[in-house]
Structure 1
Amino acid sequence: MGTWDIGPFDNDTAADFGGDLDEAPLEERESMIRRVLERAADSADHLNISDGERAVAAAALVVAQHPDGDSACSNHGPSEALPELPADLRTLTVDALDQVVSELSELADQWAEATNGSKWRKDVTRLRDVLAPPVPPQEETLFDI
């Protein structure tokens, strides 16, 4: 496996996925992203490394279109335009990312052993938090006691 950094497209599998998106007709790109996310989200007992890497890359593309998201700009990601992705992909993306960092994920296992594994996990969590921000704890008031 060729991984050179923690970014969503900083590995051979995700870079190839970006290339596949570029080669596909515009009208097929959303369904390609959806299939990658569904495959990761539906992995009930095991998520292999390649599926996890593609899911993180697809998630970065969904997040890039969110008003609070950052660009998925990468030298190794897709260079061709993507269609406007439907809002329902956001929930699917959260489910996929939850699987990517779960105990069932080979990718999470691999990064747990890496020197910069905690940085990778924070980056994946940041992607997820754009789509499903954590609920801040409420302060107790006199009325709650």
Structure 2
Amino acid sequence: MGATGPGPFDNDDALDFLDELEESDPAGRRALIESRIGEVVRGGDYVEAPLMAQAIAGAVLVAACDDIESVVGERNVPAWVDDEPLDVDDRLEELATRLLNRAMKPDDNELFDLWAESDGGERFTARLTHYLDALGE
């Protein structure tokens, strides 16, 4: 059985993306995260759950690198977030903010729909709102 939970790193797709980032050169992590987030933000179509889960993980990593306190208590946070954080600028913050806002749109993405169908939509949205707040500070 795969990992599934309301946290940004509580599912197999996000964990796979974290592994990809861990194995990449630290200098290339930002590009990977920007690419994954950008794929969703620039796309106009319905987003499948695996891609949205990975993009959410990327956006939360942006928030964490900007404010490490935002991920206190979160499971599976990579050590590099504290040791070698991404260089977060206004453009990357804006991209992550747009992604998290899109992730909470009903009927726009499969991941939101799956949580809403299981009566977990409020928990899912609350978790993402926490990271939106961290990006806004």
Q: Corresponding residue for 1:95? A: 98
Describe the SS at the equivalent of 1:65.
helix
Name the CA distance, whole Å, in 2 between partners of 1:24 and 1:68.
Answer: 21
Unaligned runs of 5+ in 1: 134-145
User: What is the 5 A alignment of 1:25-36?
Assistant: 25-36=25-36
The answer to whether the 8 Å contact 1:62/1:93 transfers is yes
Q: CA deviation at 1:34?
A: 0.3
Q: CA deviation at 1:67?
A: 4.1
Describe the SS at the equivalent of 1:70.
helix
The TM-score normalised by the length of structure 1 is 0.80
> Please, what is the CA RMSD of the aligned residues?
2.2
User: What is the 5 A alignment of 1:24-103?
Assistant: 24-67=24-67, 70-71=70-71, 74-80=74-80, 81-102=84-105, 103=107
1:13-37 Cα shifts (integer Å, max 9, x gaps)? 0001111101000111000010011
More displaced 10-residue stretch of structure 1: 7-16 or 64-73: 64-73
User: Amino acid of the residue matched to residue 91 of structure 1?
Assistant: E
Q: Which is richer in helix?
A: 2
Unaligned runs of 5+ in 2: none
Describe the SS at the equivalent of 1:8.
coil
Name the CA distance, whole Å, in 1 between partners of 2:68 and 2:29.
Answer: 22
Identity %: 27
* Change in CA separation of 1:47 and 1:34 when aligned onto 2, cut-off 3 Å: same
Q: CA deviation at 1:119?
A: 0.7
How many residues are paired up? 133
Q: Corresponding residue for 1:14? A: 14
The answer to whether the 8 Å contact 1:36/1:55 transfers is yes
Q: CA deviation at 1:68?
A: 8.1
Q: Corresponding residue for 1:130? A: 134
User: Amino acid of the residue matched to residue 6 of structure 1?
Assistant: P
